[in-house]
Amino acid sequence: MTVQENLVDCLLRYPHIFPNKWAVYHHWFIVNGCGYDWKNGELVESDNEVLLTTIEDGINYQFKETLSRIKKGESGFTFEINYSKKAIFDCINLEQRMVDFDPQRETIYPICEYANIMNIPDDITPEWKAAVTEMYNWLLVNYNDLKQSDQKYVDQINL
Q: Which amino acid does the sequence have at 105?
A: R
- Binned at pLDDT 50, 70 and 90, residue 146 comes out as low
Number of compact structural domains in the chain: 1
pLDDT of 144 reads: 58
Average pLDDT over all residues of the chain: 84
Mean per-residue pLDDT, 101-129: 85
Give the phi and the psi of residue 39 in degrees, each rounded to 5: -150, 125
**CA 46/CA 12 separation, integer angstroms:** 18
3-state secondary structure the chain: CCHHHHHHHHHHHCCCCCCCHHHHHHHHHCCCCCCEEEECCEEEECCCCCCCCCHHHHHHHHHHHHHHHHHHCCCCHHHHHHHHHHHHHHHHCHHHHHHCCCCCCCCCCCCCCCCHHHCCCCCCCHHHHHHHHHHHHHHHHCHHHCCHHHHHHHHHCCC
Model confidence pLDDT, tens digit, residues 41-81: 999 888 767 788 888 898 888 888 888 877 887 777 777 77
pLDDT of residue 69: 79
CA distances (Å), origin 93, targets 58, 85, 100, 158: 11, 12, 11, 34
- Give strand pairing partners of 38: 43
Instruction: Give the C-alpha separation, 22 to 46, whole Å.
Output: 21
What is the reported pLDDT for 107? Answer: 66
pTM for the structure as a whole = 0.80
**Domain range holding 20?**
3-156
Tens of pLDDT along 3-33? 999 999 999 989 988 989 999 999 999 998 8
